[in-house]
Amino acid sequence: MNKLKILFATVLTLTIMACEEEDCCVYPDECPTNIGCTEEYRSLLFQPTKDGQAVLLDSYYVKNLDNDNIYNFTNNDTHDRLAAYIVATDSQLEEVKKSGSTLRFVGSANNEVVIEQDFVVGHDCCHIVGIDGPFYGGN
């Protein structure tokens, strides 16, 4: 009986050791309930450019291509001066996959769509994270 217990413990240990972290997760987009997050509020920005110059938009929106939700943001004075526009904020944390969701930025000037840009945005269970796209100011 002891040999059977030792064999079982060995097989269990080897199975656990052979399993990579990503493979072991049944639900990789789930977050632990006891995670400690900072209270800062994060935003991801985009500065559209044409010929090296910032493009000023009259309006814009962002569409989550995973769930078809539309996000309308209000820029502050600093963003307006920089012609940098919000792509996503921590408010969208629960609407994007941890591994990444595609968000489409659509900007208009003079009642005409002048830019469409896709971004991949995920999260680290506390804050949104830019995964792919030309984010302004890094990530």
- Look at 56-60, 75-79, 118-122 and tell me which has the smallest mean pLDDT: 75-79
Q: What is the pTM of this model?
A: 0.74
Q: What pLDDT band is residue 25 in, cutting at 50, 70 and 90?
A: very low
Share of the chain above pLDDT 90, in %: 57
Arithmetic mean of pLDDT, 109-114: 94
Q: Model confidence over 39-75: pLDDT tens digits?
A: 999 999 999 998 988 889 999 999 999 999 999 988 7
- How many domains does the structure of the chain reveal? 1
Pairing mode, strands 59-64 and 128-132: unpaired
Arithmetic mean of pLDDT, 28-43: 86
Q: Model confidence over 3-22: pLDDT tens digits?
A: 555 545 554 454 444 444 44
How far is C-alpha 24 from the chain's CA centre? 22
Per-residue pLDDT at 50: 87
Q: How far apart are the first and last CA of the chain?
A: 57
Per-residue pLDDT at 78: 67
Closest CA to 33 of 126, 99, 108: 126
User: 115 is in which domain, residue-wise?
Assistant: 2-136
Arithmetic mean of pLDDT, 97-102: 96
